[in-house]
Structure 1
Amino acid sequence: MRNKKWGKVLLPVIVAANIGVVTMILSSASPETKEIIVERETRFEAPELPKTVSFSGEKMPLDRFYVKEALDRELLSNVYFHSQTIRYIKLAPRYLPIIEPILKEEGIHDDFKYLALAESGFNPRAVSPAKAVGFWQFLKGTAMDYGLEVNAEVDERYHIEKSTRAACKYLKDSYEKFGSWTLVAASYNRGMAGVQRQMNLQKQEDYYDLLITTETARYVYRIVALKLILENPEKYNFFVPESEKYPVIATKEVEITGSVVNFADFAKEHGTNYKLLKDFNPWLRENKLTYSGRKRYWVEIPQL
């Protein structure tokens, strides 16, 4: 049964708390930002769709109503998922400087960094229900096909740099097959065989005109929506000061030259602790490492 007394007490508290938050924000905001906040405080608005938008240099056909509405759906979903989207904006400065140079070096369009965001939310430890792992959400078999080591002690799907290079190899193989970066992105979600099967069945070569599983049908639009927001967050009413974004943490590389019996001891020997060692090297899956000498390993030691 609803407690009317508590309802009367809590409602003013909630209202007062909300007013307090708005007041705190307004006190430190610029005049332009204050105007926007005051104007939008009491109403929700649909985000404005761009007149033109592209993914990896390929123009999205917004003149088709179903394409326009699909992008609108993903913008709405991400613009109004405030906590998640703000976290993405905060995390971007920490992880984009790692993957952007690799994409450039490998000849992959910069827009694919937003594919990594769509896949994992910039979480190096992300694990999907299907057991896809890491920044780029590799399944075990695919990861090993593309040169990543996966075993009980080492799982390079959790290694940001190495998994990014493996993802680039996959993306290039897919582009060689499809000749379209949009289809490449779709194939990253559905698999090359899955996309090709639907293309053959429907006699259709345009992603935007394929009838495909809901997740893949929304996939490219979600990537593009994330791109639009992160490239211009203020346009979508996200105001995150630079001081509140997460910085890159300086590290030094230490080569492992023999078997490690206990990483807690190893961490102490190198001026850190077990937690931080594992935080910065999530690809180390056990408390030890058997070193055969056939492969060299480096770990990142945070310089705090």
Structure 2
Amino acid sequence: MHVNYPNLGFIWKLTFLIAGGLLLSSLVSSPVDPNARVAEPIVWAQNRAPEVPSQDDLAGEAVPFESFGVREQLDREMVVNTYHHSSTMLYLKRASRWFPVIESILKEKGLPDDFKYLAVIESGLSQVVSPAGAAGFWQFMKGTAPQYGLRITEEIDERYHVVKSTYAACDYLLDANKEFGSWALAAASYNMGKAGVRRDLEEQKVDTYWELHLNSETARYVYRLLAIKAIFEDPESYGFSIQPDALYQPFETRTVWVTSSIDDLSAFALEKGANLKALKTLNPWLRSNRLTLAVGDSIGVKIPI
């Protein structure tokens, strides 16, 4: 059956004309309130290019900004880390908790204070594992860790022990600096290995990190360290404003010395007035739910106060 529908287009046009007329009439007839609040225009935030330091140094060694590509490579890392907002903000918060520990060990071992930023670029000051299997704040590989005194068993992995792994990292960097005579090259070797740096220096017949043609990760590595250093030394200039009470504070702990094996760390934690979550957070190097000690051994375990 054929149905004659009304002309909908005409009806819609007529409706809009009537509505528009009514709106115009109300605007004309309504008095203007001089005290009415005028909506403020929306101002969109602008991303400002972060300033690249005009001069800088790594562990007292001047950065040669006049050398080919140096300024632009540092600029890239300044941009990336300034606008990597959530990660950089968390790094700044965590530093309040962990830098005092790291700084004291660097000073004790005679390393420049700048190397605390190496832990930031390695792990973000968190107990992470890389796709390659490097672990902990200082990202030691399983094969390298024992060479620097870090114990790894089924129950213990000292790559996750902040204090012990910091001492190990210091020993590595001291060895590398002794070989290469440069803190920048020592830092680069932390990323690609001493053998890799040695090979590239010999093949390319240059003497400094800044002249080397490197794999993409190591080519950015020292520049990223410098960028993090610049941001941490003056965070507000790079858009990071953190109130003191928003920073992560050091854990308040006491040390319990364990002299015999523990079959159940959950029960041990409860016995000490804590729980397994707190125990593993404060002692991430405990990798099992038990702890086996040889006769005569002792080990310090942190417990929250």
Q: Normalising by structure 2, report the TM-score.
A: 0.85
Whether 1:88 aligns to 2:69 is no
Shift of 1:261: 0.6
Cross-structure match for 2:46:
43
Cross-structure match for 1:252:
254
Give the counterpart of 1:78 among 81, 85, 98.
81
Whether 1:177 aligns to 2:191 is no
Once residues 295 and 129 of structure 1 are traced to their aligned partners in structure 2, the CA distance between those partners, rounded to angstroms, is 34
Q: Which residues of structure 1 form unaligned runs of 5+?
A: 1-39
Give the alignment's Cα RMSD to 1 decimal: 1.3
Give the counterpart of 1:101 among 100, 104, 110.
104
Once residues 187 and 219 of structure 2 are traced to their aligned partners in structure 1, the CA distance between those partners, rounded to angstroms, is 11
Shift of 1:295: 3.7
Q: Secondary structure at the match of 1:48?
A: coil
Q: Secondary structure at the match of 2:286?
A: coil
Cross-structure match for 1:297:
299
Shift of 1:205: 1.1
Structure 1 residues 191 and 295: CA distance shift in structure 2, 3 A: farther
Q: How many pairs are equivalent?
A: 264
Once residues 261 and 196 of structure 2 are traced to their aligned partners in structure 1, the CA distance between those partners, rounded to angstroms, is 42
In the TM superposition, structure 1's runs of 4+ consecutive aligned residues that sit over 3 Å from their partners are: none
Give the counterpart of 2:233 among 225, 231, 234.
231
Q: Which residues of structure 2 form unaligned runs of 5+?
A: 1-42
Shift of 1:296: 2.4
Q: Conserved in 1, the CA contact under 8 Å of 2:188 and 2:222? A: yes
Once residues 154 and 142 of structure 2 are traced to their aligned partners in structure 1, the CA distance between those partners, rounded to angstroms, is 12
Once residues 247 and 241 of structure 1 are traced to their aligned partners in structure 2, the CA distance between those partners, rounded to angstroms, is 12
Once residues 137 and 179 of structure 2 are traced to their aligned partners in structure 1, the CA distance between those partners, rounded to angstroms, is 24
Q: Conserved in 1, the CA contact under 8 Å of 2:259 and 2:296? A: no
User: What is the percentage of aligned positions where both structures have the same residue?
Assistant: 50
Cross-structure match for 1:62:
65
1:201-220 Cα deviation digits (max 9, x unpaired): 00111100100101000000
Once residues 103 and 157 of structure 1 are traced to their aligned partners in structure 2, the CA distance between those partners, rounded to angstroms, is 17
Cross-structure match for 1:128:
130
Whether 1:111 aligns to 2:114 is yes
Whether 1:155 aligns to 2:157 is yes
1:45-85 Cα deviation digits (max 9, x unpaired): 11011111111001111123510000000000000011111
Flag the structure with larger Rg. 2
Higher helix share: 1
Once residues 266 and 276 of structure 2 are traced to their aligned partners in structure 1, the CA distance between those partners, rounded to angstroms, is 5
Shift of 1:141: 1.3
Q: Normalising by structure 1, report the TM-score.
A: 0.85
Q: Secondary structure at the match of 1:253?
A: strand
1:109-138 Cα deviation digits (max 9, x unpaired): 100000011000000x21001100100000
